[in-house]
Structure 1
C-alpha cells in the first residue's frame, strides 16, 4: 500500500473515531425534506440540515433525502451520530475532509483487493476448507464471470497474485461511479473486508445480511467450536449489516441520479445537434 493510501486509511479511521465520540441532545421536534431545483434538502424544524463544515446537506435523490430525514427522526433524547451512517456518508462526500479524489479511492480499493476475505482459504482445517468452498465458491465464480477475469485464492498467509488486467478491469469499474457512490462503496468494503462481497451486493447478487454472514464465515465457524459471548456477536452482525445497507442505499440512489442526469445531458446534446 503506497503512502497516499496509508494516509487515506488513517484519515478514515480518525474520522470514524471522532464520530463515535460525538453525541448530543435532540434539539428539534420534526424532520422533513424540501426540493431545491434538482436537489433535495433535509430540514430539522424547517431549518436546513448542514454538514460539519457548514454546507447545506444536499442530495440528488428524493428517496435518499427521505431516508436521511428518517434517520434523524428515529433519534430519541440523545442523537446517536455514530450509527447515523447515511448522514455521515453524505457529509463526507460533500465536505471531503481528506481532500481525496475518485482516483485516490480507486487506488485504495485496488490495493485492498488482494486482502479480500474471500481470497484466503484454509489449508489446515479440512472442515473449514470445505465450508469455504461451499459458501464462498459460488460468489467467487460469479465475480469472475461478472468481470470476465480469473482470480486465484491463497491457502497461506501471503495474498494471492492479482494480474495487471484484473487491476485494470476493477479500476475502470470503480471509476464509473460518482464520487459519493465510490465513497460509500469504500465504506461497505471496509465493513465486509471484501470488495468482492460489496460488489456482489451492489449487483444485487447478495443482500447485506447474506454478505455479512459470508464475511464472518470463519469467525462463525470458530464460534461454533469455542462458544460465543451472548448478544455481542449478534450486535456486531447487526452493525455490519446496517453499514453495508447504508452504503448500498447511497450507491443506488446516487448512481441512479447520476445516470439519469447523464442521460438527460446526452439527450439534450443530441437534440441541440439535430436542431443545428
Structure 2
C-alpha cells in the first residue's frame, strides 16, 4: 500500500486524540474475563473464576525466560484484575528479529503463548505505553487497541485469512456507500443530496481505481455489484500483508464499509473524512434535533478510536 499516504493520515490526527487514544474505548463492546494460564515459566495466573489476576512466586525470578501469557479472552475481555507489574519496557527479540514488550522482567506473550514479537521499535513502544497507562485498580483490555490489533495481525490473520476475506467480500454488496436515500420525499431528500455531495467522489475514485462503476441502490438489504468490481476488490485484499488486512478488517467492521476501509488504508480518505461519511445520516439528524450528551458524543469518540487505531497501527508497523 502507499506508505506516504498512510504517513499523511497519521500526521492529520489531532495530537490530543493520539495522547488519549486508548482512553475513549468503550467497555460495552467487550464481555468475558481472562482464562487461566498454567505455564510454569510465567509468574502470573489468570483466573477464569473472577476478575482478578493472582501473583504467584516464580520458580526462578532471575530467569529471562519468565513471561506473561495473555489469555485468548484478553482480546474481548473486560477489566482483568489489578495491575500486577511496576515497570514496562521494550527490548530486542532474542533472535534479533523484531521487538518485544517486558512487564517487569517477564516477556509479554500472545494468546497462543508465543512472544509478542513486533516488527518495529516504534510499535513496541506504543504498545508498551498502553500497558504503562493501565491503572492500579485494574487492567482494561478495551483501552489497548494497538495490542489487540498486533495480536490479530500476528495470530488471527495468518490462520484465518481465507475466512476474513470471505466475510469482507460477503458484506461488500451491502456496503454503506452504495446505499442511497430516496430523493422523492421531504424526509429523505436532504440525506440524498448530502450523499451525492460527499459519497459520489469516493465512488468515482472506486471506479477509477478498479475500472468498474459501482451500483447504488435504495434498499436496506443491499444490491448486487458488478462481478468485475467484486473480483478486483478481492484480488486487492489477497495481496495485502497481515498488518494491512488486520487494519482493513478492523476499519470495515466499524465503518460498515469495505470501500471506506480500503480508501483509508490507501490514503484516499483522511480519518476525519472517513468519520464524516460513516456518520453522515446520523449527523444530519443531530443537526436537526440536537446532540444527546453521553450518547452521540461518546459514539463519535469511540468511532474516532476505532478508525484511528488501525491507521496508527499500520503506520507504526512500518516506522512511518
- What's the TM-score once normalised by structure 1's chain length? 0.80
1:191-270 matches, within 5 Å, as 191-254=254-317, 256=318
* Residue of structure 2 equivalent to 1:5: none
Distance 2:291 2:124 in 1: 38
- Tell me if structure 2 keeps the 8 A contact 1:154–1:160: yes
1:80 aligns with 2:140: yes
1:93 aligns with 2:150: no
From the two aligned structures, give the one with the greater helix fraction: 1
Structure 1 residue 111: Cα displacement: 0.9
Distance 1:236 1:80 in 2: 19
1:69-97: CA deviations, max 9, x gaps? 1111222222221121111122233343x
1:107 to 166, 170, 177: 166
1:129-208 matches, within 5 Å, as 129-208=192-271
Structure 1 residue 173: Cα displacement: 0.6
Choose between structure 1 and 2 for higher RCO, CA contacts under 8 A separated by at least 6 residues: 2
Structure 1 residue 136: Cα displacement: 1.1
Unaligned runs of 5+ in 1: 1-14, 258-276
* Residue of structure 1 equivalent to 2:117: 58
Distance 1:59 1:222 in 2: 43
Range with bigger deviation, 181-190 or 154-163: 154-163
1:46 aligns with 2:80: no
Distance 1:30 1:39 in 2: 21
After superposition, the CA RMSD in angstroms is 2.2
Range with bigger deviation, 34-43 or 100-109: 100-109
Structure 1 residue 57: Cα displacement: 0.8
Distance 1:102 1:52 in 2: 18
2:86 to 24, 29, 54: 29
- Tell me if structure 2 keeps the 8 A contact 1:118–1:194: yes
- Tell me if structure 1 keeps the 8 A contact 2:109–2:115: yes
- Tell me if structure 2 keeps the 8 A contact 1:49–1:57: yes
Aligned residue pairs: how many?
241
Distance 1:48 1:158 in 2: 48
Range with bigger deviation, 41-50 or 185-194: 41-50
